Amino acid sequence: MAAPRRRSLATRLLVAYALAVLAVVGVLGFFVERSAREALVDEVQYGLAEQARAAAFSLPETPGEIVGFVEGLAPITDARVTVIDSDGSVLADSHADAETMENHSGRPEVQAASRGDTGFDRRVSVSTGFNQLYAAVQGPGDRVVRLSLPENVVNAPIREFRGRLLLMLAVAGLAGVAAVALVARRLTRPLAELSEVASSVAAGDLDVEPPRSSVAELDDLGRSLGSMSTELGHRLEEVSGERRTLEVVLDALPQGTLLVDTDDGVLYANRSLIDLLGPVPESLAQVVPFRIQEMVRRARDERTVVDIDLEHGRPARVLRVIVSPFDDGRALVVVSDITDRRRVDDVRRDFVTNASHELKTPVSSILAAAETLQVALERAPDKVPQFAAQIEVAARSLARLVSDLLDLSRLEGRTAQHVEMDLERVVVAEVERMRPLAEERKIGVVSDTVPVSVMGSPEDLALAVRNLLDNAVRYSDPGAVVTIRLDRQGDEAVVSVTDSGTGIPQRDLERIFERFYRVDVARSRATGGTGLGLSIVRHVVESHGGKVTVESQLGSGSTFTTRLPLD
């Protein structure tokens, strides 16, 4: 739409006023002048009638005298004087030859005068060709005395009247212009102020006080503007409050969120996105990894949700990126870090594979021994006890494996109730429990403890101590001594189990706490190991807020140390 031609309110008012004044002056002038002219014409005619009456009064009788009378009278009255006989013939005329003049009995003013009235008429004169004013009265001998003047005798006074009228209207008009200018100023100044206030509001300054005005409508407008800006302020506050809430929520989300505009500009990015992808990009073209850019385009083109897992950064993180297109062309990118989930999945998969593998070995042994046992029952009964013993060994190993797996899944599946407990009692009880097995293998067990109580699960900590002692005994040779110490160091309870056994190669130290990781698989199996003992220990200690470490020298023994917080 084309912009309308702009003019100030004052100009508009003045132009409108001027047009109105011109119209009024035109119409008024026309009618006033016409009425004035009529009044003047009437007055001239009455004057003529007066003069005619006076002339009729002293009209002589004889036609000769009448001619002289007429000629004498004309210069006095300034009018054309005509005397008409009772039969309508013209007896004398001051401005024309009476002989040549036609019979005047048909003239309206003559007819009226003949009836005894004062006759008036106004018409174009046959003799002069101008508009004439006539007044006629009856004189002696039914003769009619008629005086006439051209109508334009009123022109001069009318002109003068018109001049005065125009002057008057001009003065009134100018006074009006001044008044309009004054009113316009009184209207436009507050309007300009209001417009300034409105501009400030539009520019975001809502703390404005619109000026009051003595013009009711402007005052109302100002007050409306004021309440509008207050209301706008409330709305803006509401909107920005909601926006802040939304931002807080979005920032708290672990998923990175990026909103891409239709023109590829970035409309919004939350804090997690910065953590995952780096500084907020200004446009889609700056988004790294580049595959996200392709995904946004594909999602828009195909109008479907596109999701992809990709690796990004160093160290590499696995990111799941989901791009959802909106109908209007914008697109929402949600990025989640699934590295841990992936790792857990991998660990779980490995665990199932390893567990199945570990279970397979004793089960195969049992099956093989059972089959052989059946054959031996018939053919070599003396070998039966040997195969039965083999089955027992394999079944025990299976039972240990299942028991460790159950311990592990029990530990992982719940949060243990921690109570204030006497750690020394647990350590001493586990030493006593281990003693028969140790003696059987000719291994001495020495304990050196102090009273220490911690917050924890007695059952779980007993399991951890048992596994450490069990390993120390199993990986020591007969004659060796295993020492367990319980001490208090700072705000920690320290349990250390030292043996003088096989020791562990340096390269394996880091991995022995992994499930099923074994340095010497044969020895582990032969001594009834499952490969799960240390992972159970680590799980228990970490769930108590502690840490387990190992120091070992290949061939001369190992020390496993667990540190547990005292409270």
Nearer to ligand ADP, 104 or 538 (CB): 538
β-bridge partners, 309: 320
Nearer to ligand ADP, 400 or 425 (CB): 400
Nearer to ligand ADP, 501 or 546 (CB): 501
> What tokens does 406 get?
């159950």
DSSP 123-160: EE-TTT-SEEEEEEEE-GGG-EEEEEEEGGGGHHHHHH
Nearer to ligand ADP, 101 or 509 (CB): 509
Helix and strand totals (H; E) in the chain: 14, 17
Nearer to ligand ADP, 173 or 531 (CB): 531
CB of 551 to ligand ADP, least distance (A): 11
How many C-beta atoms surround the C-beta of residue 438 within 10 A? Answer: 21
Phi, psi dihedrals of residue 26, rounded to the nearest 5°: -60, -55
CB of 461 to ligand ADP, least distance (A): 16
Nearer to ligand ADP, 199 or 553 (CB): 553
CB of 501 to ligand ADP, least distance (A): 5
- Compute the distance between CA of residue 438 and CA of residue 497 in angstroms, rounded to an integer: 14
CB of 535 to ligand ADP, least distance (A): 6
CB of 548 to ligand ADP, least distance (A): 11
CB of 484 to ligand ADP, least distance (A): 12
Residues in the chain: 567
SS3 376: helix
- Compute the distance between CA of residue 448 and CA of residue 557 in angstroms, rounded to an integer: 18
Nearer to ligand ADP, 94 or 535 (CB): 535
DSSP 300-367: HHHTS-EEEEEEETTTTEEEEEEEEE-TTS-EEEEEEE-HHHHHHHHHHHHHHHHHHHHHHHHHHHHH
Nearer to ligand ADP, 66 or 472 (CB): 472
| DSSP code, position 503 | -
The residue ranges that bind ligand ADP (CB under 6 A) are: 467, 471-472, 475, 499, 501-504, 512, 517-520, 524, 529-535, 558
Phi, psi dihedrals of residue 318, rounded to the nearest 5°: -95, 120
Nearer to ligand ADP, 55 or 504 (CB): 504
CB of 494 to ligand ADP, least distance (A): 17
CB of 297 to ligand ADP, least distance (A): 51
| Nearest alpha-carbon partner for 362 in 321, 340, 393 | 393
Residue reference for tokens 């006080």? 209
CB of 536 to ligand ADP, least distance (A): 8
CB of 252 to ligand ADP, least distance (A): 40
Nearer to ligand ADP, 255 or 365 (CB): 365
CB of 514 to ligand ADP, least distance (A): 8
CA distances, 216 to each of 12, 219, 257 (Å): 21, 5, 53
Write the single-letter amino acid at 77: T
CA dihedral 373, 377, 380, 383 (to 10 degrees): 50
CB of 559 to ligand ADP, least distance (A): 9
- Compute the distance between CA of residue 18 and CA of residue 14 in angstroms, rounded to an integer: 6
Residues ≥6 apart with Cβ < 8 Å to 214: none
β-bridge partners, 146: 82, 136
Nearer to ligand ADP, 74 or 355 (CB): 355
- Compute the distance between CA of residue 121 and CA of residue 43 in angstroms, rounded to an integer: 13
| Nearest alpha-carbon partner for 463 in 499, 426, 412 | 426
Nearer to ligand ADP, 77 or 471 (CB): 471
